[in-house]
Structure 1
């Protein structure tokens, strides 16, 4: 797959990847009747949640591909972009990938997220329907503050984060929603052979802001989950806690 580009590169060179993605999706859906797009989305949802054989293609034709892109790409882009931003914060300053391979990349949402994180043109390969064959790397860089087993007890919860996705009118139409946004839940692990600086701790739940205090649920480097209460007595740390988001490192750098 080529590096993502809008339909009019000269007019869009200065546009952010998120804006170019929305414009490109809008162009792709031009001429596709809304009823056909909605029907394709409903069929895709049923296939993903049903018992479709793994060797059966889910995206059958261009209408399926376009509907899938409109339905999933904005949320996937925001989730991957959020994960890559945390990963980039752990790496040496100025580092950027020379190329990247996206295994199981579908319509390439992660490629747009890479471009948003590290500007520049680079070779890109997007593989789909391929055996997973990438080595994980030796050190976890994000989101975990350690490289040990996850302290969350299986079956009680799962380590995940949330990215807010702005819905265009087209996106709302395809998804059948009315709100101008949605929250995409996602989980990720970023590993590298480069020298990494994992977060001292990671906020793993939405912070609870109360009068005079903020409750933070943290994954900590000693492989435990702990709740920390930050109060006004903590001064600058309290002000930082009021601004911290779910998924951010703690304390801020």
Structure 2
């Protein structure tokens, strides 16, 4: 048996000159937990060229969706950004990753902190009914440099708000906080600073960070992940991993390339 599923590209959407998303078929045998990633890529010169990509689709959806950065000289993304409807992509048979709710201790508020395409695993998680069962409130934070880079997340949340199943859940439980660093916008600043200053919680009319109630997932740039990890550990939060639940989890394998 091949190590990969060969899936057909169903649609491609270019959001900016640096961001795109695409949907593909999903083999009925491909199983994953919301928040996980798989190795995906293309066959180049008869050999697989692969990178870790989080599924932006939920595990109950019939199609797969991925959200990607474009890197002009990136070994994979320089080619992947040119895919079209009908093309074939490779999807690894095994999904894995730390951004699953079982890796967190019980809590009442879930903070999903992302920058750039690090939003992808959380696009999967906010479509998971189980997440709304486990937590009283979910705060989805998406940090980007420019306003245009928020479009994927803004459309995702708008679509869910209109959804028959998720609309009522979102109204009751999901708080969405987009923020940018390089342009005027209603929310400005880096995620680390917004948490340290309490601005994030003040803007959302929420209580301050609390180790007793808050559980955190993070995905994005390495610098942001390291800063946030230090911030949370300084406040007594402990990192969780597979089979060892903690106060926060980080996806280290997800690389923007």
TM-score (norm 1): 0.28
TM-score (norm 2): 0.27
More helix, by proportion: 1
Structure with higher RCO (Cα < 8 A, 6+ apart): 2
Query: Highest CA radius of gyration, 1 or 2?
Result: 1
